[in-house]
Chain A
Amino acid sequence: PAATVLKYPLSNMAGKAGRQSRPRKADKDEEEKPLQAVLVADSFNRRFFPITKDQPRALLPLANVSMIDYTLEFLTSTGVQETFVFCCWMASKIKEHLQKSKWCRPTSPNVVHVITSDLYRSLGDVLRDVDAKALVRSDFLLVYGDVVSNIDVSQALQEHKQRRSMDKNVSVMTMIFKESPPGHKTRCEDDDIIVAMDGKSKRILHYQRAQALKKLHFPMVRCLEVGSDEFEIRFDLLDCHISICSPQVAELFTDNFDYQTKNDFVRGLLVNEEILGNQIHMHVTRDGYGARVSNLLMYDTVSSDTIRRWIYPITPEANFADQEGQSCTHSRHNVYREPGVSLGHGSQMEENVLIGRNTVIGANCTISNTVIGANCVIGDNVTLDRAYIWNRVHIADNVKVKQSVICDNVEVKHGVVLSEQCVLAYNVVVGPDITLPEGTVLSMHHPDEEDDEDEDEFLSDDNDVGYSKDKTKQKVFNPAEVGSEGKGYRWKSSSLDDTEEDELAECIWGLALSADPESDSESEVSEGSHDLGSHPASPELDDVKVFQNEVHGTLQRGLDENISCDNLVLEINSLKYAYNISLKEVMQILMRVVLEFPFQQQGAQISTAQYSSHLLPLLKKWAPVFKNYVKRPQDQLDCLASMEEVFLECETHWAVLMSMYQLEILEEEGIMHWFNQGSTTDKSQQLRRNQGLLKFIKWLQEAEESSEGDE
């Protein structure tokens, strides 16, 4: 009978399956290589502390599904066939979760490998390990374990491949951005960025975080150097934290062991573009949803967006994680119910509610914009608004919760009121009859523990921890903080300094208080005070100044110790990278420093003759240095422009120009071009009418004519 089967023509289905299985046989062809992804299941920060003390961030439930499942679903739907999950903090928990999930079933289209190490301290470490183990063979997707997205990256992938095949290995990375104007809910103010890109090639020219930046110093130079006709400076983009990387990215991380984060990498690459010749491109999408759950405010936003179906087809009722018993029904006003939910008499689920399996809700409750996990028990007359309640939580009667996160196994006794932005971490008990003020964070872990257990893995067995704590720090539960029967420590009033206190609260809920409509007034106040407090201090400007001083020092030393010009160039180059100065600026600063050298030595009031006699030997000495930097016609113009700036004040020193010409630092085309250029200010016009200069120009012209005559 088997032979008869083979007779039938292969259908569509068979054809497709054949196509899918072919790449696994590892063809040599570039196109046929399976798409790989690197998923970093660790945030390398403590944003979610104290919640992440018990559970890694990637496993925190978002609409009752672990965040990492969203990321894996996104990767799988984009056609990724092999994913490497890197975990550090609580790696064993992530591993266990993944082994139980659908991703590790033999039929999974996406093969998931879990790689764990306690030594990862940053994204850089992970990528260096990717390189060391030679895991990736071709382009791969790089995402964090807390990215929720439904963006179709196939177009970006294609563009990336095209760029790579056109310009061999120049473009190393394509970053995916979602168009979302300021004020968009998914914009996280920590992550606000300003990006400059070439309008045509979509190449990133400048990338800067806008966080708390009042003034943007924008290196026009770099954009002009590239020579593109049009470039865009955009603030309406959201970094989705999805990037398409070529294997070189991992190599670059290995080469530059100081790169810790993607930000380091992008900035480092852009600064060193001239040397390394690598470029970063971007892909801007309007459709789709992409956000990273980087703080609790984002957690709030992304959860509610999931329930409001912004991330379709990843919706609660789709049960994409394929977990047993998690199929829920969707009904009007976005109310989702998993099996076994019981709702008491008179209780209302107003809108945007997700209730996990076997949860029991008492009578006369009002629930809106809320996610409740599995096996919770909620009493009578409870009001929940924007509450995120995880699994096995007990809430007694007459409790009010507003925009708060309540983790697993928490017990909230009767009469408790949770104000906005409260966090009750694992196993906390609160109440009865207590009102927690806004922004309270309670945890079973004492804030002081943090420092001691900083480095160790802390695979906690809850009972064990509770026991040891009871021994060492007995009766530290403050009834004023957690209620008479409460258990837990308040994290805000910790041993940290006053300033850091606020930071902690900000950290867990993010800086973006203003994005939250309910706390508008408060945030306005805080923003106002911010304005008064911090003065715009552009670090770039300082860098330039410091650089100028350093160059001066270097030259002075070169003069005193008679250092060769090659070594001077080397020193100036290293300074350039240390202070992140563009080539053009280096040239201008060098020119200025040299021209001002005699003033510095002899005082400002020296005659023209004295000045020239001082400067000429110096120029002769450093001519090779100049020649090293001044190469193209554009460089000469830049040089002359800075010269002009210096001589605007004292116009008598034009002999210098002559000697520069004679030393072949400047060429006559450059000088003529500069001279003929329309001058903008009166002063510079006046300067151009200077007798000495005119004579020189005339001499140049004549020389040119005579040389032409010779030919």
Chain B
Amino acid sequence: MPGADKETDLSERIESFLSELKRCGSGAGSLRGSAETARETTALLRRITAQARWGNAGELMEIIRKEGRRMTAAQPSETTVGNMIRRVLKIIREEYARSRGSSEETDQQESLHKLLTSGGSSEDNFRQHFTHLKANVIEAINELLTELEGTTDNISMQALEHIHSNEVIMTIGRSRTVEAFLKDAARKRKFHVIVAECAPFCQGHEMATSLCKEDIETTVIPDAAIFAVMSRVNKVIIGTQTVLANGGLRAVNGTHTLALAAKHHSTPLIVCAPMFKLSPQVPDTPYNHTKLKSVDTILYIHILSKVNAHCPVFDYVPPELITLFISNIGGNAPSYIYRLMSELYHPEDHEL
């Protein structure tokens, strides 16, 4: 039975993706950058759309939501997965609306009045069957994939607008987006980059080596020296793990220190973040944003059982400390993030 065969193949793929997600925290998994995670998630969702059994948009959304919940639970700190699921859900909604012939604008912008009068959830309306829906949805997901491929290029294209000659730029840790951004600017301009090493994993060292290869003048400093060096810095450019709904960041440990130092010296802080990092999560308690890794790296020897060691990986950076976001669709202020959010995701999908 070819149908059953396809189904087991699909579930096998989902399982292997899940186990990889679970493992990628240790660095042993093959998923590296969040861009890659985003692409793989979207590709998997396309496969689900193509191979799973569904009759109408409502069923498809239900399937994707179910798998999405498992995927986000597998690695809660990797928000990209959830974001891509929301993007795909939004695509299905749009395609369904288009097939029905109604304009997507009216469907999305639900007024308070409409909400009150309609009562039940709009899910009931997704039960209609359209023959072309599957092809359309897959086509739209392919467009999303193309968009994902180009994000880093789109961001680094804007580099020359922000980096000027002889500037001193500070960054922290290693972000692939920032790396591409700086390298792009270095093709035309000469500037100096200071990299905070980001102990204990010291991704900053890798960053510095990579920048040096492009003939960028680079200095590595310990994290403790961030404040002292800040007075010389013209601009701080950082990457982030997630952009939260309020315009704040969840970024690599030490970013908050950096942001505060920048604020103190009134140095502009620019965040390079592709749109797929935008998450509808809001910050609650700071602790919930940290992912605690093995303490092996910071405490090599067990000193005593009485000593507790912690190794948080992420910092929460409040939106007040951020000057500008540079995404693949242009520069935005933190206060504008909520607007982008409503364009990217359907409000009903915020909770999967």
Number of residues on chain B facing chain A (CB within 8 A): 45
From A150, A180, A331, contact of B26 by CB (8 A) = A150
Instruction: Identify 26 residue pairs between A and B in the complex whose beta-carbon atoms are under 8 Å apart, listed by A's number.
Output: A1-B135, A4-B135, A8-B46, A8-B142, A11-B40, A12-B36, A13-B17, A13-B40, A13-B43, A13-B44, A14-B47, A20-B16, A107-B15, A107-B16, A150-B26, A150-B294, A181-B301, A304-B305, A308-B308, A309-B295, A310-B294, A312-B25, A327-B73, A331-B287, A333-B308, A351-B308
Interface of A is mostly: loop
B25 to chain A, nearest CB (A): 5
| Chain B, range 1-51, C-beta contacts under 8 Å to A | 8, 11-13, 15-17, 19, 22-23, 25-26, 28, 30, 36, 39-40, 43-44, 46-47, 50-51
Give every chain B residue within 8 A of A1 (Cβ-Cβ). Answer: 134-135
Give complex CA distance A1, B53 in Å.
12
Give complex CA distance A460, B15 in Å.
37
User: Are the C-beta atoms of A13 and B25 separated by less than 8 Å?
Assistant: no
User: Are the C-beta atoms of A310 and B296 separated by less than 8 Å?
Assistant: yes
Residue ID in chain A nearest B36 by CB atoms: A12
Residue ID in chain A nearest B23 by CB atoms: A77
Q: Knowing A1-B134, A8-B46, say if A308 contacts B26 (CB, 8 Å).
A: no
User: Are the C-beta atoms of B40 and A312 separated by less than 8 Å?
Assistant: no
Residue ID in chain A nearest B307 by CB atoms: A308
Residue ID in chain A nearest B17 by CB atoms: A13
User: Are the C-beta atoms of A330 and B134 separated by less than 8 Å?
Assistant: no
Give every chain B residue within 8 A of A133 (Cβ-Cβ). Answer: none
Q: Does A83 contact B (CB under 8 A)?
A: no
From A11, A315, A318, A331, contact of B39 by CB (8 A) = A11
Q: Knowing A1-B134, A4-B135, A109-B15, say if A312 contacts B304 (CB, 8 Å).
A: no
Residue ID in chain A nearest B293 by CB atoms: A312
From A14, A106, A286, contact of B43 by CB (8 A) = A14
Q: Knowing A13-B47, A77-B23, say if A107 contacts B296 (CB, 8 Å).
A: no
A330 to chain B, nearest CB (A): 7
Give every chain B residue within 8 A of A140 (Cβ-Cβ). Answer: none
| Chain A, range 323-340, C-beta contacts under 8 Å to B | 327, 330-334
Give complex CA distance A150, B25 in Å.
12
Most chain A beta-carbon neighbours within 10 Å: one of B11, B293, B296, B305: B305
Q: Does A17 contact B (CB under 8 A)?
A: yes
Residue ID in chain A nearest B24 by CB atoms: A313
Number of residues on chain A facing chain B (CB within 8 A): 48
User: Are the C-beta atoms of A185 and B294 separated by less than 8 Å?
Assistant: no
Q: Knowing A13-B43, A16-B30, A313-B25, say if A5 contacts B51 (CB, 8 Å).
A: yes
Residue ID in chain A nearest B76 by CB atoms: A317
B27 to chain A, nearest CB (A): 8
User: Are the C-beta atoms of B292 and A312 separated by less than 8 Å?
Assistant: yes
4 further interface pairs, Cβ-Cβ under 8 Å (given A11-B46, A311-B294): A13-B17, A17-B16, A150-B294, A185-B302
Give every chain B residue within 8 A of A327 (Cβ-Cβ). Answer: 73
User: Are the C-beta atoms of A12 and B40 separated by less than 8 Å?
Assistant: yes
Give every chain B residue within 8 A of A617 (Cβ-Cβ). Answer: none
A9 to chain B, nearest CB (A): 9
User: Are the C-beta atoms of A308 and B301 separated by less than 8 Å?
Assistant: no
Give every chain A residue within 8 A of B302 (Cβ-Cβ). Answer: 184-186
Q: Does B220 contact A (CB under 8 A)?
A: no
Q: Does A289 contact B (CB under 8 A)?
A: yes
| Chain A, range 68-125, C-beta contacts under 8 Å to B | 76-77, 106-109
Give every chain A residue within 8 A of B50 (Cβ-Cβ). Answer: 5, 8
Q: Knowing A185-B305, A332-B287, A351-B308, say if A308 contacts B46 (CB, 8 Å).
A: no
Give complex CA distance A312, B304 in Å.
19
| Chain A, range 424-469, C-beta contacts under 8 Å to B | none
Residue ID in chain A nearest B14 by CB atoms: A107
Q: Does B138 contact A (CB under 8 A)?
A: yes
Q: Does B229 contact A (CB under 8 A)?
A: no
Give complex CA distance A459, B23 in Å.
37
| Chain B, range 299-345, C-beta contacts under 8 Å to A | 300-302, 304-306, 308-309, 311
Give every chain B residue within 8 A of A288 (Cβ-Cβ). Answer: 296
User: Are the C-beta atoms of B296 and A287 separated by less than 8 Å?
Assistant: yes
User: Are the C-beta atoms of A312 and B46 separated by less than 8 Å?
Assistant: no
Binary A-proximity of B193-233 (CB < 8 A = 1, otherwise 0): 00000000000000000000000000000000000000000
User: Are the C-beta atoms of B296 and A109 separated by less than 8 Å?
Assistant: no
Give complex CA distance A13, B37 in Å.
10
Give complex CA distance A312, B296 in Å.
9
A566 to chain B, nearest CB (A): 58
Give every chain A residue within 8 A of B308 (Cβ-Cβ). Answer: 308, 333-334, 351-352
Give complex CA distance A5, B15 in Å.
21
Give complex CA distance A1, B50 in Å.
8
B137 to chain A, nearest CB (A): 12
